[in-house]
Amino acid sequence: MKNKLLISFLIFLSLGSFVFANELQDATDLYNEAIDLYKQDEIERSVELFNRAVEIKPDFYEAYYNLSQILMSLDRDEEAYKVLEKLIKLKPDDYESLYNIGKIQHKRGYLLSAHEYLTKIPKNAPQYQSAKLLISKIEKRQSELDLEAKIKEHRVLVDSLGKVKGVELADILAPSGVVTDEKGNIYVASFAENTIYRISVFGQKKPFSKSPLLKGPVGVAIDKNDNVYVANYSANNIIRITPSGQASIFADIEKPYCVFYDSEHNRIYVTEQSTNKLYKFDI
């Protein structure tokens, strides 16, 4: 186990803080004794003393850290989860603990909880790549579970041999264009509601953009930076929507219908229904 050893505390307190000093010393003594017991393979006794140390000193980060490492090594996942929660509250940017709690929740089958913790790890953290791989596994498994649930709960299209050909994913009023991003989120245009919906990898449907600029959206496309392009049929233009949902006019075009993103050349193609023409726009 990787220990974060706290050899000693130097306490400089006033006489009025004598009780606090005694409590702090008691917690430190318990902490150091717990480390010694762990080295002697007295694991259960070590766990007991770490727990007593944090009872006395609830913000004792090092004690929580070592306790979490021991509990994880013993596969005592529920206990480890509770300790890691306290660690993260004490230090929200403890990315090692965020990754560990994500692993534990994934192991316990709490996929949404694991996903929530892991996505908090930034790209510059050493644990980012490992977290990214685990997130991919979680999203794949969650998609499988969602599909199983939708097969049970929603209308299913089958062929003459009874093989599943399609599963109802969401209700969209007057749906038109549809596109997916690299993460598996689905974007669907509602012509009647002047709305672009996003259906997450977990099957949750939410409005992505209800901008007043949207008027009769039909075709949709998405670029490598997750900007969504909408053929805005009734407004005679192309709308670009950023990943945060901010909409702006990208280009004016008469009755645009289909829109396609060419990732190799970083451009979009748009069909203009009123003139039977095809247009190219470099991004």
Q: The domain that contains 114 carries what CATH number?
A: 1.25.40.10
Query: Considering 97, 129, 145, which residue would you say is the last residue of a domain?
Result: 145
Q: Is residue 5 part of a domain?
A: no
Same domain, 20 and 139: yes
Please give the pLDDT value at position 167.
Answer: 62
Q: Residue 200: inside a domain, yes or no?
A: yes
Residue 217, in any domain of the structure: yes
In this structure, the answer to whether residues 204 and 111 fall within a common structural domain is no
Residue 102: pLDDT band (50, 70, 90) is: very high
- Give helix 43-56 / helix 61-73 axis angle, nearest 10°: 150
20-24, 74-78, 239-243: least confidently modelled range: 20-24
Q: Give residue 152's pLDDT.
A: 57
Residue 256 has pLDDT above 70, yes or no: yes
Containing domain of residue 267, as a range?
175-282
Quick one: 23 and 89 in the same domain? yes
For residues 121 and 197, state if they share a domain: no
Question: Are 273 and 179 within one domain?
Answer: yes
pLDDT in tens, 175-190: 999 999 988 899 999 9
Distance CA 79, CA 98 (A): 15
The domain tally of the chain equals: 2
160 in any annotated domain: no
Whether 143 has a pLDDT exceeding 80, the answer reads: no
Give me the pLDDT at residue 269, please. 98
Residue 156 in domain = no
Of 123, 145, 167, the last residue of a domain is 145
Instruction: Using pLDDT thresholds of 50, 70 and 90, give the confidence band for residue 114.
Output: very high
20: in domain: yes
Please give the average per-residue pLDDT across 240-265, as a whole number: 96
pLDDT score, position 112: 86
Q: Specify the pLDDT at position 201.
A: 78
Q: Give the CATH number, domain containing residue 242.
A: 2.120.10.30
| Residue 61 belongs to some domain of the structure | yes
Out of 23-27, 125-129, 233-237, which region has the weakest mean confidence (pLDDT)?
A: 23-27
pLDDT reading at 104 higher than 50: yes
Same domain, yes or no: 185 and 126: no
Same domain membership, residue 183 and residue 132: no
Are 140 and 186 members of one domain?
no
**Residue 200 backbone phi and psi in degrees, to 5:** -70, 170
For residue 6, the model assigns a pLDDT of 37
**pTM check: above 0.75:** no
Which band of pLDDT confidence, cut at 50, 70 and 90, is reported for residue 248?
A: very high
42 in the same domain as 100: yes
Distance CA 256, CA 151 (A): 35
Share of the chain above pLDDT 70, in %: 84
As a whole number of angstroms, the distance between CA 265 and CA 280 comes to: 11
8 pLDDT more than 70: no
Q: Two tokens at 106?
A: 């994934």
Domain shared by 87 and 206, yes or no: no
Domain annotation covers residue 4: no
Q: Are 83 and 191 in the same domain?
A: no
Q: 167: number of CA atoms within 13 Å, CB side? A: 15
Mean pLDDT score of the chain, rounded to an integer?
A: 87
Domain stops at, among 145, 167, 193: 145
pLDDT on residue 57: 92
- Averaged over 257-281, what is the pLDDT? 96
Do 270 and 184 fall within a single domain?
Answer: yes
* Secondary structure of residue 93 in the 3-state scheme: coil
